[in-house]
Amino acid sequence: MCLALPMRITAVDGALATIASAGLEQRASLMLVPDAKVGDYVLVHAGFALSVLDEVEATGTLELLREIGAFAADDAVTADDAIAADDAG
């Protein structure tokens, strides 16, 4: 499964942008969205900004991803739990 993430552009240098989200900063190509500018949110996959998002859509998506992460952390099964269940069965 592939996942594209909303990230905010913090700097632009030609066709490359510095993008950031949740403390992660990296570089991405703007070749597919040449009109993107500093402050815009872009949907990023595999080092390429695929589209420009409005802030409401981007922050909503990021909040849903945080909720999924929190839910998964609460429901995590450890390797020890899986071994114990296998031994009991």
Task: Quick: pLDDT tens for 19-58.
Answer: 999 888 999 999 999 999 999 999 999 999 999 999 999 9
| Domains defined for the chain, CATH in brackets | 5-88 (2.30.30.140)
Percent of the chain clearing pLDDT 90 (strictly above): 58
Tell me the CB-side half-sphere exposure of residue 13, using CA atoms within 13 A. 5
Rounded CA separation 14/69 (Å): 34
Predicted model pTM:
0.75
- Given this model, what pLDDT does residue 72 score? 73
Q: In terms of DSSP H, where are the helices of 1-89?
A: 55-74, 79-88
